[in-house]
A = this chain, B = another copy of it.
Amino acid sequence: MIILDYQDRRPLYEQITEKFRMLILKGALPPGEKLPSVRQMAMELSINPNTIQRAYMELEQEGLIYPVKGKGNFVAEASRIVKKRRDEFELELSQLVCRGKDMGITEEEIMKIVSEKYQEVSK
């Protein structure tokens, strides 16, 4: 299911986090699905269970999964995931707007940037 790349400069837990994040966001792992246990996953990859735990903790922070003691880790509901991501986006945008305001940038200028960037065609 997952392959580690020891050439990759990124830490192991980050490689694991990224791959599960993709699988969940793409829908390959549907809400409610159980993830491999930290021990089973650690066995498969021949690393320490704590490294899997670290990866799962990251995913939990992002609201993508939730743990149940003694049972396992499960993919969160799609609606929860979307909400969490939107909340984070809103927070970042708010902070940025605040910064811009302090710099003396007008609301109209900000709106113009948003509009132009949004209209831009993307591949």
Residue numbers of A with Cβ under 8 A of B are: 85-86, 89-90, 92-94, 96-101, 103, 105, 107, 110-111, 113-115, 117-118, 122
Contact = CB atoms under 8 A, between A and B. Distances in A.
Q: List the 8 closest A-B pairs by CB distance, nearest first.
A: A97-B117, A94-B117, A107-B118, A93-B113, A97-B114, A89-B100, A110-B114, A90-B113
A84 to B, nearest CB: 11
B111 A111 contact: yes
Contacts of A100: 89, 93
A96 B99 contact: no
A107 B114 contact: yes
Contact of A94 (B89, B99, B113): B113
22 contacts: A85-B103, A86-B105, A89-B96, A89-B99, A89-B105, A90-B113, A93-B96, A93-B113, A93-B117, A94-B113, A96-B96, A97-B113, A97-B114, A97-B117, A97-B118, A98-B122, A107-B114, A107-B118, A110-B114, A110-B118, A111-B115, A114-B114
